Structure 1
Amino acid sequence: MKYIFTVINILFFTTTLFAQRTSIEPGQLWPDQNGNHIQAHGGGIIKIKKTYYWYGEERRQGLDPNLRYVSCYASKDLMNWTFQKDVVQMSDPENLGPGWILERPKVYYQPQTKKYVMYFHLDNKAYSYARVGIAVSDSANGDFKFVKSFRPLGRPSRDIGQFIDNDGSAYLIFEDRELGFHIAKLSADLMSVEKDMSLIKASLEGGAVVHYDSLYYVIGSALTGWKPNPNKYATAKSLEGPWTDFRDIAPPETNTYQSQSTMMVKVTGTKSTTVIFMADQWKPSAQWDSRYLWMPLEINDGKLWLPKPRPWSLNIKTGLFKILQQK
């Protein structure tokens, strides 16, 4: 009888652990297929065929303090994520010293070379090195190897974001504290920055861009470090601008519901297009427990708004989302 109860308990635990999620719950623990909280902070997403890949800073406890880690997760529906591996386990690549920094990894795919190209913020502890690093892999979930670092357009770069336009053109968004907020086009091979599309003269980081209908929308957060602030947005008819004045994306007193933007993900289905605000809720003293705030944006005709976070579901095929009752 004891054996039977043990088997039943194991089966119940396994069923619970691998149960398919039917919703996204902003600000809650988000378990992967093994029941572990997803560790993909400051991250970015690309879609290859029918699979989404989410890359981010691996912040789990017990990591080697001399290394920096980037995780990779895969999903077909943006709700259920399977941990692939830590695709970066990097030692100090350029003698930056103790406390060196690898942040905000973003991956692009180059279909001609069939290479996956990762950009990331590379810095020293004092944040004075201010460069982007590049690592390359032959597969989405392979080992990314460090290639080089540089200052895009010769300018200091800290927080970075990524944007891929409807025509497949790839762009790097980077924060330049002295001048503002760059949206720069990458070269065809993705290994360098080709030209500046826009220099938005605003003190913003956490950059995110989406092309929706006939407008470009850009989101950024103020320079307050780990502390959240009211994220803002502007629009333009082209990436070159001119851009409108920046406006709040949520009630300013909420500080963007205690989050910071990292990307906007556009899901185009057979019936609708949903734009997801993808953000981090940082816990600087317990980074492994930092959470994610993902919500569908209200976006149309030059207006963008982040609704109050609530559980919601998404149909990848149709592109329709549904706000759910609070549990």
Structure 2
Amino acid sequence: MLLKKSSFIALLLVFVACQIQVSAQVSAIKPGEVWPDNRGEHVQAHGGGIIKIGKLYYWFGEDRAKDNDPAKRYVACYSSPDLTNWTFRNKVIKTGDPANFGKGFVLERPKVFYNKKNRQYVMYLHMDSANYKAARVGVAVCDKIDGDYKYLKSFRPLGEQSRDIGQFVDDDGSAYLIFEDRAKGFHIAQLSDDYLSVEKEICLIKAPLEGGALVHYKGLYYAIGSALTGWDPNPNKYATATSLSGPWSEFKDIAPPETNTYGSQSTMMVKVVGTKSTTVIFMADQWRPKAQWDSRYLWMPLEIGEGKLWLPKPQPWKIDVKTGEWKYTDEK
């Protein structure tokens, strides 16, 4: 029996849709290259952070798409079961100036925590005026991880300046905000029980660092930060301590200094604990200030342990999030 023309067209459209979905599958993480999402579009999650809920990883970051309204600021949310293939979920923040910071206001480095007590997702943001003089954090909340977040307030944590921010959740579930204070250094501060404010300072690392990232690995804390060079990359450095409160070791390079961290700046370290191994991923941005929508990502497994940390030369790689094992791939 011959198919009716309308039925044939419907089947053809289904076939094309399936082919598009297959073509959008990503087989390896390729540092510095365009990272297509399920729609085939470059992931817009710059300055971002990762949170795992159930079997899915969620990646939040600055959405700097070229067609965004320049008077607004956007945060996008993506999900993935494997840290490689990302599905666009929502622009969870799409806002004009929420607190009268003025023209060119700043909304950067979104980091989301899940507060189990209140069953609420809490987002911290670097919020600022165009001249970076306000130096505050913003807080937004949502009952759904990929819903529309409601802006609550902005403030200076513990009364201190705050520009670049990072997040850290320790193995015991304690939640911390990392923030850069140009006047004093690199703050590590614990959040309040509801995560809506900063309760107390755990440590002030007296070093001029931003892009703060922390991980707890085999009994040691590792902290990474970058120098204050604006959009320009620089040699990121790391230090270690047996306690978040310190004392912290001397800072050392994480990569050959002449590479300027392979043109990237740290934003987070993601620890993948599997059945066979634990991998710590260096998550960084390769900023393109004149084409921010085309800024790239440098994700690489770190060589880490016994107080040492090193970022290998970037090349394509794969990870099995179930076993925690990773390997290089020859895929181009």
Q: TM-score range by the shorter chain?
A: over 0.9
Q: Which residue of 1 aligns with 2:255?
A: 250
**Is 1:148 paired with 2:153?**
yes
Secondary structure of residue in 2 paired with 1:255: helix
- Preserved CA contact (<8 Å) 1:18 1:33: no
CA distance in 2, matches of 1:25, 1:17: 19
1:307 pairs with one of 308, 312, 331: 312
Q: 2:325 aligns with which of 317, 320, 326?
A: 320
**Contact residue 18 and residue 34 of structure 1 kept, 8 A:** no
2:292 to 281, 287, 296: 287
Counterpart for residue 260 of structure 1: 265
Question: What residue identity is the alignment partner of 2:292?
Answer: Q
Match of 2:188 among 180, 183, 187: 183
Q: What amino acid sits opposite 2:81 in the alignment?
A: K
Distance 2:259 2:13 in 1: 43
Answering whether residue 277 of structure 2 is matched by residue 272 of structure 1, we say: yes
Aligned match of 1:87: 92
3-state SS of the aligned residue for 2:285? strand
Q: Is the 8 A contact 1:100 1:124 kept in 2?
A: yes
Distance 2:52 2:294 in 1: 26
Out of 23, 26, 33, the residue aligned to residue 28 of structure 1 is 33
Offset of residue 151 of structure 1: 0.3
- In structure 2, what residue type is equivalent to 1:276? I
Give, as a single letter, the amino acid of the residue that structure 1 aligns with 2:164.
D
Q: Is the 8 A contact 1:310 1:326 kept in 2?
A: no
CA distance, structure 2, for counterparts of residue 141 and residue 96 of structure 1:
26
Within 5 A, what are the aligned runs for 1:227-242? 227-242=232-247
- CA displacement 1:23-68 (0-9 Å, x = unmatched): 1000000000000000000000000111111000000011111111
How well do the aligned residues superpose, as a CA RMSD in angstroms?
Answer: 1.7
CA contact (8 A) 2:82 2:320 kept: yes
Return the alpha-carbon distance in structure 2 between the equivalents of residues 87 and 133 of structure 1: 15
d(CA) in 1 for partners of 2:307, 2:318: 25
Q: Alpha-carbon deviation of 1:15?
A: 2.0
2:123 pairs with 1:118: yes
Question: In the alignment, which of 192, 203, 206 is matched to residue 201 of structure 1?
Answer: 206
**How many positions carry a matched residue from both structures?**
325
Where do 5+ consecutive residues of structure 1 fail to align? none
CA distance in 2, matches of 1:290, 1:273: 29
* Structure 1 CA distance for aligned equivalents of residues 105 and 221 of structure 2: 34
TM-score by structure 1 length? 0.96
Which amino acid is 2:22 matched to?
F
Alpha carbons 2:50, 2:270 under 8 Å: kept? yes
Residues 1:135 and 2:135 are matched in the alignment: no
Shift of 1:10: 8.6
Instruction: Give the drift of 1:16.
Output: 4.9
SS of the residue corresponding to residue 18 of structure 1 reads helix
Task: Determine if contact 1:206/1:261 at 8 Å carries over to the other structure.
Answer: yes
1: CA distance, partners of 2:22 / 2:116:
34
Residue deviations 1:174-212, cap 9 Å, x none? 000010000101011101111111100000000000000
Determine whether 1:15 maps to 2:16: no
The corresponding residue for 1:69 is 74
Q: In terms of mean alpha carbon deviation, does 85-94 or 34-43 score higher?
A: 85-94
